[in-house]
Amino acid sequence: MKYLLIQLILWTGVLFSSCTDYLNIVPKGEKIPTTLADFEALLRDEYTIGQTPVANALYLLNDRYLTVSNLNTPTLATANYMWDEQADRIILNNSSENTYYYLYMAIANCNLIIEHAPTATECTDQERAEVIAYAKVIRSVCYFTLVNFYADTYDKETASQTRGIPLITSANINAPHEQVSVQELYDFTINDIKEAISAGLPEKSMTVIHPNLGAAYAMLARIYLQMSDFEHALQYADKALEQNDRLFDWNAYYDQYKERIEDPDNYDNLPTPTDYTYIENYYFRCGDNSPNYSSSELAIPVERANRFEQGDARFLSRWKYRSVNQDTYYDGIGSGYFNWGGLTTCEVYLIKAECLARQAVNNDFSEAMQTLDAVRITRIRPEFYQPSAASTLQEAIRLIRRTKDNELIFSIVPFADARRFNREGEFVQPLSKTYQGKTYTLSPQSPMWTMPFPAGAINNPGNGTIEQNVSK
């Protein structure tokens, strides 16, 4: 199936970027897409359209453990992990950088569907519109990650003048493209999703790897939150929760595997519930793990583990302290498929909680805390659980952010949120750690919060130009 899909993509690119004579020349053993099923098949190949690797954002946050032996080698990962502002990350990023290539590969597939599925055969108009709507939401998910990785964070006052990322909307490999502003990119993603909703994006999608109506609302809530447009973020969070408001009971999961979890010498993998059937899913999308096979939970540093709330059943069920030779860390004990790049009800609850806190009157944060606790009560062990309380906005944001950073670890969201809070200045949480007796810090103003484009993109920009958004 993968071979067929790759050939389909290649020959479709030839078809639509060359002369019409190719319409009459179908290579032996190959297939040119004509039916809607041909185009929809592209959405099912998760390797080419369903990955969201953001490893260097995870390393910068120190959310993902990097071994001592790896730290002895000067790489892009090492520079980010050790917050080395003297390192030239542009030079270090001289090889394939998965965030850029995987996401633009997904965008290329979406462009192919959006541009050519309108003439697909063997379908109704509504079926055709549905597949195109899926592609528009997926394209927006990809662009949101890219702009929050390679460009400076959104600032209403400067976004229209801030250089963003290449905006590519054509499936033609020779089509011109432009590196648009951050504002233009955000406007584009919002419009894409709203068009998908208007086209009749279904409440129940074909599969969980096809984003449903709840996913579209959740993505709009995420985008508007990143823009600090709390009114619209709350509006779409509520719409998403109307579609699905279920939360997984991690306390029940802990009880089910309690004996293995509490055995300090048992590192046998537990089946992760955060797979394709996770009840919190609006849309499933892989992160740094491959969709082609089951993988293990990523390891996290000890300092990162210490930022989880005491009694967090989700943490206790996913990681276990381990010391092997020169490495001490929390080893991932989960195994399976992980929705690190998609959209879930948990994220939407926490978006809603922050919006309610921002709009609270007379320092009454009770509704925001109740929304936060709807999540916490399914996570925190009963002997540790206490209802959340805040008397200031700073306290409310701190509590919400703690849960959100922990819940969405390994996704782009904690990185995007950190950049947003850094820009505001009021809710900054500077990062600090001690390594081999030396203290390291990452300031909110550090240029490292924006990642460099890979050398391949700069040197081979196609029919357009790309300028670096960082100096090194």
pLDDT, tens digit, 9 for 90 and up, residues 137-150: 999 999 999 999 99
Let me know whether 109 and 26 are in one domain. Answer: no
Higher per-residue confidence, 135 vs 22? 135
Let me know whether 73 and 158 are in one domain. Answer: yes
pLDDT at 57 over 70: yes
pLDDT at 9 over 80: no
Query: Which among 423, 450, 416 has a CA at the least distance from the CA of 223?
Result: 416
pLDDT at 7 over 70: no
pLDDT of residue 174: 86
Q: What average pLDDT does range 325-342 have in this prediction?
A: 95
pLDDT band at 240 (very low <50, low <70, confident <90, very high): very high
Let me know whether 126 and 226 are in one domain. Answer: yes
Range(s) of the domain holding residue 28: 1-32
Write the CB contacts of 456 (distance below 8 Å, at least 6 apart in sequence): 95, 96, 97, 100, 101
Residue 333 inside a domain? The answer is no
Residue 220 inside a domain? The answer is yes
pLDDT of residue 31: 63
Residue 151 inside a domain? The answer is yes
pLDDT, tens digit, 9 for 90 and up, residues 62-111: 999 999 999 998 999 999 999 999 999 999 998 768 999 999 999 999 99
Let me know whether 22 and 47 are in one domain. Answer: no
Which phi and psi (to 5°) does residue 19 adopt?
A: -70, 160
pLDDT at 11 over 90: no
Residue 290 inside a domain? The answer is no
pLDDT, tens digit, 9 for 90 and up, residues 372-400: 999 999 999 999 999 999 999 999 999 99
Let me know whether 8 and 89 are in one domain. Answer: no
Let me know whether 78 and 197 are in one domain. Answer: yes
Query: Which among 472, 346, 466, 460 has a CA at the least distance from the CA of 96?
Result: 460
What CATH number should be reported for the domain holding residue 445?
1.25.40.390
What is the pTM (predicted TM-score) of this model? 0.92
pLDDT over 70, % of the chain: 93
CA distance 428 to 438: 23
Residue 71 inside a domain? The answer is yes
Structure token digits, residue 253: 């999961």
Residue 143 inside a domain? The answer is yes
Let me know whether 54 and 1 are in one domain. Answer: no
Number of domains in the chain: 2
- What stretches of 27-97 show up as alpha helix (H) in DSSP? 36-44, 46-49, 55-61, 68-71, 76-81, 89-92
Expressed in percent and rounded to 5, the helix, strand and coil fractions of the chain are 50, 10, 40
Residue 288 inside a domain? The answer is no
pLDDT, tens digit, 9 for 90 and up, residues 12-40: 443 333 333 333 344 444 567 889 999 99
pLDDT, tens digit, 9 for 90 and up, residues 108-134: 999 999 999 999 999 999 999 999 999
CA distance 292 to 240: 29
